[in-house]
Structure 1
Amino acid sequence: MIKRKVLIVGSGIAGMASAIRLVVKGYQVEVFEANSYPGGKLSEIQIGDYRFDAGPSLFTLPEQVDELFRLAGKDPKDYFEYDKLNVACKYFWEDGTRLNAYADLDLFAEEVQSKLGEPATTIRKALRQSAFIYDSLAPLFMNRSLHKLDTWTNPHALKSYLRMGKLGIFSTMDEANQKQFTHPKLVQLFNRYATYNGSNPFETPATLNIIPHLEFNIGAFFPKKGMHDITQSLFKLSEELGVTYHFGQKVDKVLVENGKAKGLRVKGQDHYADLVVNNMDMVNAYKTILKDQKQPKLLLNQPKSSSALIFYWGIKRDFPELDLHNIFFTDNYPLEFEHIFKKGTIYDDPTIYVNITSTHKSDDAPAGCMNWFTMINVPNNQGQDWDQMITEAKRNIIHKLNRILKTDVEPLIEAEEILDPRTIESKTSSAQGALYGNSSNNKFAAFLRHANYSSSIKSLYFCGGSVHPGGGIPLCLLSAKIMSEMIEE
C-alpha cells in the first residue's frame, strides 16, 4: 500500500509534534526547515562554558509532551525526564519585599498572608476560580477547533454558555484581580500572567486568569536536561519513526493547483505531496510562501503580541537567593504596559525576568557561576531605533538589579549574547518579532486566530503559535493535535 505523503514547513515544536502524530497515523512525512537546527524558538545557545535555553523557559502541562511518546508506543522516560518545581517563581520588589510562589498551595497561601497580609483564603478562592475557568473553557478553546460547528454544539459547549458570566469574558484581567485581591502587589503578581501570551493585563479579558491554574494547581516543571531537551527528545523520536528532515532548506512557495495544495517549491525544485502543513508564522507565510493566494486580511492586520529583549549573561558569581524563575517587578505596571503597547518603547523601570537553569542543572555554568537568561517584555518591531533602546534598557536593567540585589552586576558579566525583536523575526520568521502572533488584548482575540486549516485551499493545514489555539509550548502542541485530527476527519 502506498502511503499518503505530507510535507511540513518548519520544525518548530508544533511542526515536530505534527510530524510525529502524522507518521504514527501512517503518513510519509518530510519536514523542510530554513535553519540548520530543529525547534524554532525552543533552541539553545552556548557561550564558552555557559549553556542557555534560548527561548521558552517555563514548562507546564508536560503530559502534552509525554503523549507524543505514548502515541508511538514508547515510554516517555526513555527519552525525556522532568521534575516538578517546589518553588514556581521568586518575586522581588524595590521596597525589599520578597515572595516565594511555592508549588504547595498551603505554603503559598501562608507566604502571601505573612508577607503581604492577604488572607490565605483569598489565594485559595482565586485559584479555585482559575481552575473553574480552565475546566469550563479548556475542552472548548484548547482542545478543539473554534472553526468547526460541532465545537459550538457539543454538550460541553452548551454547559459553558451557561457559565459565561463567571468566566471573565466581560472584564479585564486587572479589573478581575482588583476585585479578587486587596494588596496591590498580589494584583500585580496575578496580572503578570497576561505576559505569558504577550498581552496587556489592563486590556486582555479576565478569561486569561485561566493561566495561574496551570502553574499552581497543576504545577510548573523543569526538564532534567533543560528546556532544549524537549526539542532534542521529540526530534530523536520523530527520526526513529521515519520522519525525514531537510535543514537549511527555505521554502519558496506552497504549490497550489485548482484550489488544492500539491506540494512545496524549495530552492527552485518542486516536491509533491498529498497534504501540506504550515508551521511557519501565519503572517509571514502569507507574505512569502502563500503570497499568490487569497489573503485573510482581517487576521493579518490584527495587532501583534509583545516581544522580548533577552540578555544571555554568564555571571561569575553565585547568588543563593535566586532560583530557576525570578521576577523583579516595576513600581508602575500600568505605565510599563503603556510604553509597550501604546508608545512602542521600553519603560525605564521595566519588570525583569531572570531564568537561571544552572540552579537545577549545574553543568550549565562553571562552578561558582550562574547563567542568567535576563529578559524584559518589549514592543514588537515597528522600525524603532533598537540599538539605542537596547543600550538604555541594559543600563536600566543593571541598575535595577543592583538596587534590589545589593550588588554590582556589570563587572560579573563575563559572557553575553543579545536577542531582540529583529533577531527573533529573522531566526524564527515571527512577524515583527512578536512572540505569540496576534495579541489577545480584546475579548474576541480567541476568534481572531487563523484556523488549523485553510478555508480556501484544500489539503493545506496550519499549526504553531500564530494559529489556534495560541502561543507557548502547551498550546503549540495542542495545535498539532487539533490539526492532525482534522486531517483524519
Structure 2
Amino acid sequence: MMQQVSVVGGGIGGLVSALLLQKQGLQVSVYEASERLGGRLRFVERDGDKIDQGPTIVLLPDTIKEILKDIGIEDEVELLEIDPLYSIHYQDGTTYTKYRDPAKQEEELKKLFPQDVKGFKRFMKDMKFRFDLGKPRYLETSFVRKRDFFTPTSIQTLSKLKAYQQVYQQLKTYFNEPKLREAYALQTLYIGGNPYRTPAIYSLVSYSEHEHGIYYIKGGYASLVEKLEVKMRELGISIFTNTPVHSVKPPNAIVLEDGEKVESDFIIINGDFPVAQKLVEGTADRNFEPSSGCFLVYMGIKGVKEDLSVHQFYLSKDFEQNMKEVFQWKQVPTDPSIYLFNPSKVDSSLAAKGKSVLYTLVPVPSGNQIDWEKEKEDFKDLILNRLEQNGLDDIRERIEWMEIRTPQEAMKDGLFEGGSFGIAPSLFQSAAFRPQVQPFPQHPSILAVGASVHPGGGIPIVMMGAKLVSEVIETQLEKPSTKRKV
C-alpha cells in the first residue's frame, strides 16, 4: 500500500516537501488553515497592483534552481540578476554601493574607503573557505542524532567558522571603517538577528551576496506559490485549504477542527515551530527567543522611480543604538534603519503602465510591548520623512494607496511573538540546537520544516529543509539514498 503523508501547513517548506515526497512515490495531502497556500509568500494586492508581502531578496540562486529542478518547475521560474546588488545610504551623505563584479567593487572601495580594500579581499577569501566548509556540513545536513553534531570534526569545523565570535566583532578584524562594518553586518537582519549578538557564521550571508548574487523572481517571489500549486495538482497531491488542524495525535494521526481524524504514515508540521509544536499532544513545549519583527509599508505610486535601484538601505545615524532599541530595549526606534524595495524597476507586470509599487521594511521589536495601533501612524510618517530626505522628495504626492503591517498582524497570522523570521539566529538556536526535521525523538514519524527549524530561515534555506525532510523519510523507508548524509 502507498505510504501516506499529511502536511500540516501550506508554507513554502510544506509545499516543497509535498512535491519531493509525491515524486518519491508517496501519497501526500496538505492541510492549510487559510484560504490560500504560501505562508509568508503572498502578495499585497490593491487596485490592480501587487507587491510581495514578505521576502523580497532572492539569495542562493543555485540552491533554488536545484530544488525547482528536483520538483520539475525550473523552466517556469525566471530569475533576474540584480547588479548593482544594492546601495547603502548613511546620514552623513555617503552612499556605498555593492556589486557582484569584483572589479567594480574594488573601484567603489578605492573611491570611498581605500584603507579597507585589502581587508575586503581578505574577507571574501576567508568567507569563501568558511562557506565551502560550512554549507555541506551544516546547511545540507540534519542533526536528528545530536551525536552527529558533537564530534571532534564538527567542533573543529565550528572553530574554523569562528562560531564563537559575533558578526560585528568579527568584521572589526577586516574593516577599519565603521560604515563598512555596518554594511557587512546588516544582513543578519534578513533573518531577524542582532548583528552585535548573532554568531559570526552568519557573516556568510554578506559574502554570498557578492559571490552568488542577488536575484529577483519575475512576477514576484510569491509567484512561486501558484507554480508550486499547479505542479502539486498535476502530480495528484490532495490540497485542503480553509481546513485548520486542531491537533496532532502521535504517532500517526491529525484531528481537523471539524473533528475528523486522518491517519497517515508520516506527519509534517509546517507552521512556525514554536506555535505549531503546541498542536502535538503529549510533548513538552520548548521555550524560544523570537527573531525581530518588521514594520512594513506597502505603497502604490504614480510613475516609476527609474533612478532608484531595486534594493536600498537607509541606515540609522547610530546603528548600534538602533539595534539596542530593537533587540534589547524593545522600543519603537527613534532613528530607524530602513530597507526600500522598488521591484517595478525590473518588473512592469506589478502595476499598470505609468505606475509602480514600493515596499519599506523597518526592523522593530517582536512581542507585544508596543501598542502599534497607537504608534503606527507617527512611525509611518517618520519613515516617509526619511525617504523624502533621501531623494524621494515627492513620495507623499505620488502615493495612491498604502497598507501597513506590524508585528501584531504577524502574530495573528501565527508567527511566533510576531517575529518575521522564525526563532532568532542565536548560537543556541542554530545547527543542532535548533529544532530538527525530526523534532520529537520519541515520535520519528512526525517531522517539521520551516523558518524556525534547522537549517534555518530564508526561502532557499527552508527549501533545503524540505529536502532534508524528504531524505529523512526516504532513509526511514529504507530506500537506498544517493543524496546527502542525514
Bin for the TM-score computed over the shorter chain: over 0.9
Q: Given the alignment, which residue of 392, 412, 418 partners 1:433? A: 418
Contact 1:130 1:212 (8 Å CA) reproduced: no
State the Cα deviation string for residues 394-418 of structure 1 (Å, max 9, x = none).
1211111111216142232211111
How far residue 101 of structure 1 moved from its aligned partner, in angstroms, is 1.1
Alpha-carbon distance between aligned partners in 2 of 1:24 and 1:133, rounded to the nearest angstrom: 34
Does structure 1 residue 44 correspond to structure 2 residue 43? yes
Counterpart of 1:241? 235
Does structure 1 residue 172 correspond to structure 2 residue 158? no
Counterpart of 2:17? 18
Q: Given the alignment, which residue of 80, 84, 92 partners 1:83? A: 80
What SS is found at the alignment partner of 1:373? Answer: strand
Q: Given the alignment, which residue of 122, 125, 129 partners 2:122? A: 125
Alpha-carbon distance between aligned partners in 1 of 2:213 and 2:288, rounded to the nearest angstrom: 32
Alpha-carbon distance between aligned partners in 2 of 1:343 and 1:146, rounded to the nearest angstrom: 34
Q: Given the alignment, which residue of 273, 285, 294 partners 1:308? A: 294
What SS is found at the alignment partner of 1:488? Answer: helix
Counterpart of 1:293? 282
Contact 1:7 1:264 (8 Å CA) reproduced: no
Counterpart of 2:339? 353
The one-letter code of the counterpart of 1:23 is: Q
Give unpaired runs (5+ residues) of structure 1.
Answer: none
Alpha-carbon distance between aligned partners in 1 of 2:348 and 2:364, rounded to the nearest angstrom: 30
State the Cα deviation string for residues 37-89 of structure 1 (Å, max 9, x = none).
111001111111321011100111233333344334x3611x21212222211
Does structure 1 residue 5 correspond to structure 2 residue 32? no
What SS is found at the alignment partner of 1:343? Answer: coil
State the Cα deviation string for residues 220-240 of structure 1 (Å, max 9, x = none).
111122211222222222221
Q: After the TM superposition, which of the residue ranges 339-348 and 23-32 deviates more from structure 2?
A: 339-348
How far residue 340 of structure 1 moved from its aligned partner, in angstroms, is 0.8
In the TM superposition, 1:123-202 aligns within 5 A as: 123-148=120-145, 151-152=148-149, 161-202=155-196
In the TM superposition, 1:267-416 aligns within 5 A as: 267-287=258-278, 289-290=279-280, 292-297=281-286, 301-405=287-391, 407-416=393-402
State the Cα deviation string for residues 179-232 of structure 1 (Å, max 9, x = none).
210111111101101112101011111111111232110111111222112222
Counterpart of 2:52? 53
Alpha-carbon distance between aligned partners in 1 of 2:265 and 2:369, rounded to the nearest angstrom: 40
How far residue 443 of structure 1 moved from its aligned partner, in angstroms, is 5.7
Q: After the TM superposition, which of the residue ranges 339-348 and 405-414 deviates more from structure 2?
A: 405-414
How far residue 321 of structure 1 moved from its aligned partner, in angstroms, is 2.8
State the Cα deviation string for residues 254-303 of structure 1 (Å, max 9, x = none).
123xxx1233334221112111110011111133x22x322143xxx221
Contact 2:300 2:358 (8 Å CA) reproduced: yes
State the Cα deviation string for residues 119-178 of structure 1 (Å, max 9, x = none).
43322221222222211111121111123257448xxx7655445443222221111112
TM-score, normalization by structure 1: 0.92
How far residue 442 of structure 1 moved from its aligned partner, in angstroms, is 3.6
Counterpart of 1:102? 99
Q: Given the alignment, which residue of 67, 88, 92 partners 2:89? A: 92
Q: After the TM superposition, which of the residue ranges 273-282 and 236-245 deviates more from structure 2?
A: 236-245
Alpha-carbon distance between aligned partners in 2 of 1:323 and 1:408, rounded to the nearest angstrom: 17
State the Cα deviation string for residues 443-465 of structure 1 (Å, max 9, x = none).
66434311111212241110111
Contact 1:436 1:470 (8 Å CA) reproduced: no
Contact 1:316 1:412 (8 Å CA) reproduced: yes
Counterpart of 2:62? 63
Q: After the TM superposition, which of the residue ranges 190-199 and 441-450 deviates more from structure 2?
A: 441-450
What is the root-mean-square deviation of aligned Cα atoms in Å?
A: 1.9
What SS is found at the alignment partner of 2:133? Answer: helix
Q: After the TM superposition, which of the residue ranges 247-256 and 311-320 deviates more from structure 2?
A: 311-320
The one-letter code of the counterpart of 1:341 is: F
The one-letter code of the counterpart of 1:264 is: V
What SS is found at the alignment partner of 2:375? Answer: helix
State the Cα deviation string for residues 85-130 of structure 1 (Å, max 9, x = none).
2221122122221222111122112112212334433222212222
What SS is found at the alignment partner of 2:85? Answer: strand
State the Cα deviation string for residues 326-366 of structure 1 (Å, max 9, x = none).
11111111111111111111211111101111111013133
How far residue 3 of structure 1 moved from its aligned partner, in angstroms, is 0.8
The one-letter code of the counterpart of 1:295 is: A
Contact 1:49 1:365 (8 Å CA) reproduced: yes
Alpha-carbon distance between aligned partners in 2 of 1:118 and 1:417, rounded to the nearest angstrom: 43
Contact 2:326 2:333 (8 Å CA) reproduced: yes
How far residue 35 of structure 1 moved from its aligned partner, in angstroms, is 1.2
How far residue 388 of structure 1 moved from its aligned partner, in angstroms, is 2.3
Change (3 A) 1:138 1:69: closer
Does structure 1 residue 462 correspond to structure 2 residue 425? no
How far residue 383 of structure 1 moved from its aligned partner, in angstroms, is 4.1
Alpha-carbon distance between aligned partners in 1 of 2:25 and 2:442, rounded to the nearest angstrom: 26
Contact 2:73 2:231 (8 Å CA) reproduced: no
Contact 1:204 1:443 (8 Å CA) reproduced: no
Does structure 1 residue 213 correspond to structure 2 residue 193? no
The one-letter code of the counterpart of 1:304 is: P
The one-letter code of the counterpart of 1:224 is: K
Change (3 A) 1:243 1:461: same
Alpha-carbon distance between aligned partners in 2 of 1:8 and 1:160, rounded to the nearest angstrom: 32
Does structure 1 residue 473 correspond to structure 2 residue 459? yes
The one-letter code of the counterpart of 2:38 is: G
The one-letter code of the counterpart of 1:172 is: Q
Alignment length, in residue pairs?
Answer: 474
Alpha-carbon distance between aligned partners in 2 of 1:53 and 1:204, rounded to the nearest angstrom: 27
Counterpart of 2:434? 449
Contact 1:127 1:212 (8 Å CA) reproduced: no
The one-letter code of the counterpart of 2:435 is: H
TM-score, normalization by structure 2: 0.93
Alpha-carbon distance between aligned partners in 2 of 1:139 and 1:12, rounded to the nearest angstrom: 25
Change (3 A) 1:272 1:266: farther
Alpha-carbon distance between aligned partners in 2 of 1:196 and 1:305, rounded to the nearest angstrom: 10
Contact 2:131 2:204 (8 Å CA) reproduced: yes
Contact 1:469 1:479 (8 Å CA) reproduced: yes
